[in-house]
Amino acid sequence: MIPRSTIIDNLKNCLHDTSFLNIPGLRSGKVRDSYDLGDKLMLITTDRQSAFDRVLAHVPFKGQVLNTVSEFWFKNTTHIVKNHVISVPDPNVTIATKCKVFPVEFVVRGYLTGSTDTSAWTLYAKGDRNICGNIIPDGMVKNQKFDKPILTPTTKSEEHDEPISAEEIIARGLIDEATWNRLEQIVFSLFDYGTKTALQNGLILVDTKYELGIDSNGDIVLIDEIHTPDSSRYWLKSTYNERFDAGLEPQNIDKEFLRLWFRENCNPYTDKELPEAPNDLVAELSSRYIQLYEMITGLDFEINSQIPIQNRITENLRKSGII
Protein backbone atom coordinates (compact mmCIF):
# COMPACT_ATOMS: atom_id res chain seq x y z
CA MET A 1 0.00 0.00 0.00
CA ILE A 2 1.30 3.48 -0.86
CA PRO A 3 2.00 5.49 2.36
CA ARG A 4 -0.45 8.31 3.10
CA SER A 5 2.53 10.71 3.22
CA THR A 6 3.34 9.91 -0.43
CA ILE A 7 -0.24 10.66 -1.44
CA ILE A 8 -0.17 13.98 0.42
CA ASP A 9 3.14 14.87 -1.26
CA ASN A 10 1.41 14.32 -4.62
CA LEU A 11 -1.77 16.32 -4.02
CA LYS A 12 -0.59 18.87 -6.58
CA ASN A 13 0.87 16.25 -8.93
CA CYS A 14 -2.44 15.41 -10.61
CA LEU A 15 -3.54 15.16 -14.21
CA HIS A 16 -6.21 17.87 -14.54
CA ASP A 17 -6.36 17.80 -18.35
CA THR A 18 -4.15 16.91 -21.33
CA SER A 19 -4.00 20.24 -23.20
CA PHE A 20 -0.23 20.31 -22.48
CA LEU A 21 0.21 17.70 -25.25
CA ASN A 22 -0.85 20.21 -27.93
CA ILE A 23 -2.43 17.47 -30.05
CA PRO A 24 -5.45 18.45 -32.17
CA GLY A 25 -8.83 16.76 -31.90
CA LEU A 26 -9.19 16.60 -28.11
CA ARG A 27 -12.52 15.24 -26.89
CA SER A 28 -12.90 15.69 -23.16
CA GLY A 29 -15.27 13.52 -21.10
CA LYS A 30 -15.97 13.48 -17.38
CA VAL A 31 -12.77 11.57 -16.63
CA ARG A 32 -11.13 10.61 -19.94
CA ASP A 33 -9.59 12.74 -22.68
CA SER A 34 -9.51 11.08 -26.09
CA TYR A 35 -7.63 11.81 -29.32
CA ASP A 36 -8.29 10.50 -32.79
CA LEU A 37 -4.95 9.27 -34.16
CA GLY A 38 -6.33 8.27 -37.55
CA ASP A 39 -6.45 4.48 -37.47
CA LYS A 40 -6.58 4.32 -33.67
CA LEU A 41 -7.57 6.26 -30.55
CA MET A 42 -5.53 7.54 -27.61
CA LEU A 43 -7.47 7.44 -24.34
CA ILE A 44 -5.96 9.29 -21.38
CA THR A 45 -7.53 8.78 -17.95
CA THR A 46 -7.20 11.94 -15.85
CA ASP A 47 -7.38 12.39 -12.09
CA ARG A 48 -10.67 14.31 -12.31
CA GLN A 49 -13.27 13.30 -9.72
CA SER A 50 -16.73 14.15 -10.96
CA ALA A 51 -20.22 14.06 -9.49
CA PHE A 52 -23.32 16.21 -9.88
CA ASP A 53 -22.06 16.77 -13.47
CA ARG A 54 -19.17 18.81 -11.98
CA VAL A 55 -15.49 18.23 -11.31
CA LEU A 56 -15.26 18.12 -7.50
CA ALA A 57 -11.54 17.49 -7.07
CA HIS A 58 -8.39 16.04 -8.60
CA VAL A 59 -7.30 12.85 -6.87
CA PRO A 60 -3.65 11.70 -7.02
CA PHE A 61 -3.16 8.38 -8.85
CA LYS A 62 -6.89 7.95 -9.57
CA GLY A 63 -6.39 7.96 -13.34
CA GLN A 64 -3.58 5.42 -13.06
CA VAL A 65 -5.79 3.17 -10.92
CA LEU A 66 -8.65 3.23 -13.43
CA ASN A 67 -6.45 2.71 -16.48
CA THR A 68 -4.36 -0.08 -14.98
CA VAL A 69 -7.35 -1.87 -13.41
CA SER A 70 -8.87 -1.95 -16.89
CA GLU A 71 -5.54 -3.14 -18.32
CA PHE A 72 -5.54 -6.01 -15.81
CA TRP A 73 -9.06 -7.12 -16.75
CA PHE A 74 -8.55 -6.64 -20.48
CA LYS A 75 -5.46 -8.88 -20.36
CA ASN A 76 -7.29 -11.55 -18.38
CA THR A 77 -10.53 -11.73 -20.38
CA THR A 78 -9.21 -12.31 -23.91
CA HIS A 79 -10.46 -15.91 -23.64
CA ILE A 80 -13.99 -14.46 -23.51
CA VAL A 81 -13.87 -11.57 -25.99
CA LYS A 82 -11.40 -9.53 -28.01
CA ASN A 83 -10.71 -6.03 -26.64
CA HIS A 84 -9.67 -2.66 -28.02
CA VAL A 85 -6.25 -2.37 -26.35
CA ILE A 86 -3.27 -1.96 -28.68
CA SER A 87 -0.80 -0.79 -26.03
CA VAL A 88 -0.50 0.96 -22.67
CA PRO A 89 2.50 3.28 -23.15
CA ASP A 90 1.94 5.05 -19.82
CA PRO A 91 -0.01 4.13 -16.66
CA ASN A 92 -2.64 6.74 -17.59
CA VAL A 93 -2.74 6.09 -21.35
CA THR A 94 -4.29 3.40 -23.55
CA ILE A 95 -3.88 3.23 -27.32
CA ALA A 96 -7.01 1.56 -28.65
CA THR A 97 -8.54 0.16 -31.81
CA LYS A 98 -11.29 2.22 -33.40
CA CYS A 99 -14.67 0.50 -33.31
CA LYS A 100 -18.26 1.11 -34.29
CA VAL A 101 -19.85 1.24 -30.84
CA PHE A 102 -23.13 -0.53 -30.08
CA PRO A 103 -25.72 2.10 -29.02
CA VAL A 104 -26.40 0.31 -25.73
CA GLU A 105 -24.62 0.05 -22.39
CA PHE A 106 -24.73 -3.43 -20.87
CA VAL A 107 -25.43 -3.14 -17.14
CA VAL A 108 -25.16 -6.47 -15.31
CA ARG A 109 -26.43 -6.74 -11.74
CA GLY A 110 -25.76 -9.54 -9.28
CA TYR A 111 -27.68 -7.99 -6.37
CA LEU A 112 -30.90 -6.05 -5.81
CA THR A 113 -29.51 -2.71 -4.70
CA GLY A 114 -29.01 0.96 -5.57
CA SER A 115 -30.30 4.36 -4.48
CA THR A 116 -30.86 6.39 -7.67
CA ASP A 117 -34.31 6.87 -9.21
CA THR A 118 -33.60 4.24 -11.87
CA SER A 119 -31.79 1.70 -9.67
CA ALA A 120 -33.14 -1.85 -9.45
CA TRP A 121 -33.91 -1.52 -5.73
CA THR A 122 -35.72 1.84 -6.08
CA LEU A 123 -37.92 0.45 -8.86
CA TYR A 124 -38.55 -2.79 -6.94
CA ALA A 125 -39.45 -0.91 -3.73
CA LYS A 126 -42.04 1.07 -5.74
CA GLY A 127 -43.65 -2.21 -6.81
CA ASP A 128 -42.04 -2.80 -10.21
CA ARG A 129 -41.41 -6.49 -10.82
CA ASN A 130 -40.45 -6.23 -14.50
CA ILE A 131 -37.10 -4.47 -14.72
CA CYS A 132 -35.82 -4.20 -18.28
CA GLY A 133 -37.56 -7.46 -19.17
CA ASN A 134 -36.36 -9.30 -16.05
CA ILE A 135 -39.18 -10.61 -13.84
CA ILE A 136 -38.08 -10.16 -10.23
CA PRO A 137 -39.90 -12.34 -7.63
CA ASP A 138 -41.83 -10.89 -4.69
CA GLY A 139 -40.32 -11.01 -1.21
CA MET A 140 -36.78 -9.85 -1.99
CA VAL A 141 -35.03 -7.30 0.24
CA LYS A 142 -32.42 -4.65 -0.43
CA ASN A 143 -28.88 -5.93 -1.14
CA GLN A 144 -30.09 -9.52 -1.66
CA LYS A 145 -28.29 -11.60 -4.25
CA PHE A 146 -30.25 -12.57 -7.37
CA ASP A 147 -30.48 -16.29 -8.11
CA LYS A 148 -28.76 -15.41 -11.39
CA PRO A 149 -27.31 -12.05 -12.51
CA ILE A 150 -29.64 -9.92 -14.60
CA LEU A 151 -28.92 -7.67 -17.58
CA THR A 152 -30.53 -4.20 -17.47
CA PRO A 153 -29.42 -2.42 -20.66
CA THR A 154 -29.62 1.33 -21.20
CA THR A 155 -29.55 3.31 -24.41
CA LYS A 156 -26.51 5.57 -24.78
CA SER A 157 -27.37 9.27 -24.65
CA GLU A 158 -25.61 12.58 -24.06
CA GLU A 159 -28.46 13.71 -21.80
CA HIS A 160 -30.00 10.77 -19.99
CA ASP A 161 -29.56 7.02 -20.40
CA GLU A 162 -32.87 5.22 -20.91
CA PRO A 163 -33.51 1.76 -19.42
CA ILE A 164 -34.59 -0.66 -22.14
CA SER A 165 -35.35 -4.37 -22.52
CA ALA A 166 -33.71 -6.81 -24.91
CA GLU A 167 -37.03 -7.16 -26.75
CA GLU A 168 -37.21 -3.38 -27.32
CA ILE A 169 -33.58 -3.24 -28.49
CA ILE A 170 -34.28 -5.87 -31.13
CA ALA A 171 -37.70 -4.43 -32.05
CA ARG A 172 -36.25 -0.95 -32.56
CA GLY A 173 -33.51 -2.36 -34.77
CA LEU A 174 -30.75 -1.09 -32.48
CA ILE A 175 -29.10 -4.55 -32.54
CA ASP A 176 -30.23 -7.64 -34.47
CA GLU A 177 -31.33 -10.71 -32.52
CA ALA A 178 -28.40 -12.99 -33.38
CA THR A 179 -25.86 -10.31 -32.44
CA TRP A 180 -27.78 -9.51 -29.26
CA ASN A 181 -27.71 -13.14 -28.17
CA ARG A 182 -23.95 -13.23 -28.67
CA LEU A 183 -23.45 -9.95 -26.77
CA GLU A 184 -25.59 -11.20 -23.91
CA GLN A 185 -23.48 -14.37 -23.69
CA ILE A 186 -20.28 -12.29 -23.64
CA VAL A 187 -21.33 -9.89 -20.86
CA PHE A 188 -22.62 -12.66 -18.59
CA SER A 189 -19.33 -14.56 -19.12
CA LEU A 190 -17.35 -11.40 -18.27
CA PHE A 191 -19.43 -10.84 -15.14
CA ASP A 192 -19.02 -14.46 -14.06
CA TYR A 193 -15.24 -14.25 -14.50
CA GLY A 194 -15.12 -10.89 -12.70
CA THR A 195 -17.24 -12.21 -9.84
CA LYS A 196 -15.01 -15.25 -9.28
CA THR A 197 -11.78 -13.23 -9.47
CA ALA A 198 -13.14 -10.57 -7.09
CA LEU A 199 -14.22 -13.20 -4.55
CA GLN A 200 -10.73 -14.71 -4.56
CA ASN A 201 -9.44 -11.25 -3.63
CA GLY A 202 -11.94 -10.52 -0.86
CA LEU A 203 -14.48 -8.52 -2.87
CA ILE A 204 -18.01 -8.94 -4.19
CA LEU A 205 -18.58 -7.56 -7.69
CA VAL A 206 -22.11 -6.24 -7.19
CA ASP A 207 -22.86 -4.68 -10.56
CA THR A 208 -21.03 -3.15 -13.50
CA LYS A 209 -21.42 -1.81 -17.01
CA TYR A 210 -19.80 -2.93 -20.26
CA GLU A 211 -19.49 -1.26 -23.63
CA LEU A 212 -18.85 -3.18 -26.84
CA GLY A 213 -18.33 -2.45 -30.50
CA ILE A 214 -17.41 -3.95 -33.86
CA ASP A 215 -13.90 -3.52 -35.28
CA SER A 216 -12.87 -3.22 -38.94
CA ASN A 217 -12.67 -7.04 -39.19
CA GLY A 218 -16.29 -7.39 -38.06
CA ASP A 219 -15.28 -8.84 -34.69
CA ILE A 220 -17.07 -7.97 -31.44
CA VAL A 221 -14.71 -5.98 -29.21
CA LEU A 222 -14.85 -4.97 -25.55
CA ILE A 223 -14.10 -1.23 -25.23
CA ASP A 224 -13.98 1.68 -22.78
CA GLU A 225 -13.24 0.24 -19.30
CA ILE A 226 -13.91 -2.97 -17.42
CA HIS A 227 -14.60 -3.70 -13.74
CA THR A 228 -13.09 -0.41 -12.53
CA PRO A 229 -14.11 1.29 -9.27
CA ASP A 230 -15.84 3.95 -11.41
CA SER A 231 -17.87 1.56 -13.58
CA SER A 232 -18.59 -1.06 -10.91
CA ARG A 233 -19.86 -1.43 -7.37
CA TYR A 234 -17.79 -3.58 -4.99
CA TRP A 235 -18.58 -4.76 -1.46
CA LEU A 236 -16.28 -6.37 1.10
CA LYS A 237 -16.84 -10.13 1.06
CA SER A 238 -15.78 -10.73 4.68
CA THR A 239 -18.66 -8.77 6.27
CA TYR A 240 -21.45 -9.08 3.68
CA ASN A 241 -23.38 -12.04 5.18
CA GLU A 242 -23.25 -10.75 8.76
CA ARG A 243 -24.35 -7.23 7.78
CA PHE A 244 -27.04 -8.48 5.38
CA ASP A 245 -28.53 -10.73 8.08
CA ALA A 246 -28.55 -7.74 10.47
CA GLY A 247 -30.29 -5.52 7.92
CA LEU A 248 -27.24 -3.26 7.57
CA GLU A 249 -25.76 -1.81 4.40
CA PRO A 250 -22.81 -3.82 3.05
CA GLN A 251 -19.33 -2.41 3.60
CA ASN A 252 -17.73 -0.84 0.57
CA ILE A 253 -14.73 1.26 -0.37
CA ASP A 254 -16.29 4.06 -2.36
CA LYS A 255 -16.37 7.81 -2.98
CA GLU A 256 -19.75 8.58 -1.40
CA PHE A 257 -18.16 10.40 1.55
CA LEU A 258 -16.77 13.08 -0.80
CA ARG A 259 -20.19 13.60 -2.41
CA LEU A 260 -21.72 13.96 1.06
CA TRP A 261 -19.12 16.59 2.05
CA PHE A 262 -20.08 18.74 -0.94
CA ARG A 263 -23.79 18.31 -0.22
CA GLU A 264 -23.19 19.49 3.35
CA ASN A 265 -21.00 22.47 2.39
CA CYS A 266 -22.66 23.85 -0.75
CA ASN A 267 -25.31 23.23 -3.35
CA PRO A 268 -23.27 21.29 -5.91
CA TYR A 269 -26.08 21.53 -8.49
CA THR A 270 -26.53 25.31 -8.52
CA ASP A 271 -23.56 27.07 -6.89
CA LYS A 272 -21.31 28.68 -9.51
CA GLU A 273 -18.17 28.23 -7.41
CA LEU A 274 -17.61 25.11 -5.34
CA PRO A 275 -15.47 25.06 -2.19
CA GLU A 276 -12.16 23.27 -2.45
CA ALA A 277 -12.29 19.71 -1.15
CA PRO A 278 -10.19 19.32 2.04
CA ASN A 279 -6.79 17.74 1.47
CA ASP A 280 -7.42 14.98 3.99
CA LEU A 281 -10.59 13.88 2.15
CA VAL A 282 -8.83 13.90 -1.22
CA ALA A 283 -5.94 11.89 0.24
CA GLU A 284 -8.42 9.43 1.77
CA LEU A 285 -10.15 8.97 -1.59
CA SER A 286 -6.81 8.38 -3.31
CA SER A 287 -5.93 5.79 -0.67
CA ARG A 288 -9.27 4.02 -1.27
CA TYR A 289 -8.73 3.88 -5.02
CA ILE A 290 -5.27 2.39 -4.47
CA GLN A 291 -6.66 -0.13 -1.95
CA LEU A 292 -9.29 -1.18 -4.48
CA TYR A 293 -6.64 -1.59 -7.18
CA GLU A 294 -4.65 -3.93 -4.93
CA MET A 295 -7.71 -5.90 -3.82
CA ILE A 296 -9.19 -6.20 -7.32
CA THR A 297 -5.97 -7.24 -9.04
CA GLY A 298 -4.08 -8.91 -6.20
CA LEU A 299 -1.07 -6.82 -7.30
CA ASP A 300 0.98 -4.12 -5.56
CA PHE A 301 0.26 -0.60 -6.84
CA GLU A 302 3.46 0.87 -8.28
CA ILE A 303 4.04 4.58 -8.82
CA ASN A 304 6.71 6.86 -10.22
CA SER A 305 6.30 10.27 -8.64
CA GLN A 306 9.88 11.37 -9.26
CA ILE A 307 8.78 13.56 -12.16
CA PRO A 308 5.55 15.54 -12.69
CA ILE A 309 2.83 13.42 -14.25
CA GLN A 310 2.58 15.65 -17.35
CA ASN A 311 6.32 15.24 -18.00
CA ARG A 312 6.11 11.48 -17.48
CA ILE A 313 3.25 11.10 -19.95
CA THR A 314 4.97 13.28 -22.55
CA GLU A 315 8.21 11.32 -22.19
CA ASN A 316 6.47 7.93 -22.47
CA LEU A 317 4.45 9.00 -25.50
CA ARG A 318 7.64 10.21 -27.21
CA LYS A 319 9.44 6.96 -26.42
CA SER A 320 6.52 5.08 -27.97
CA GLY A 321 6.60 7.23 -31.12
CA ILE A 322 3.05 8.46 -30.55
CA ILE A 323 4.04 12.15 -30.41
Residue type, 238: S
The secondary structure of 30-71 as a DSSP string is: SSEEEEE-SSEEEEEE--EEEETTEEEEE-TTHHHHHHHHHH
**How confident is residue 305, by pLDDT bands cut at 50, 70 and 90?**
confident
Given a cut of 90, is residue 127 above it in pLDDT? yes
pLDDT, tens digit (0-9, with 9 covering 90-100), for 243-287: 999 999 999 998 889 989 999 999 999 999 999 999 999 999 999
Structure confidence at residue 160 (pLDDT): 66
Fold of the domain built from segment(s) 4-99+253-319 = Phosphorylase Kinase; domain 1 (3.30.200)
Whole-number pLDDT of residue 242: 98
Q: Is the pTM of this model over 0.75?
A: yes
CATH of segment(s) 102-196+212-223: 3.30.470.20
Quote the pLDDT of residue 14: 98
Check residues 161 and 311 and name the one with the higher pLDDT: 311
Domain limits, the chain: 4-99+253-319, 102-196+212-223
pLDDT, one tens digit per residue, over 146-171 is 999 999 999 987 666 789 999 999 99
Mean per-residue pLDDT for 216-233?
96
Structural element, H or E, at residue 55: strand 54-58
Cβ neighbours of 98 (radius 10 Å): 17
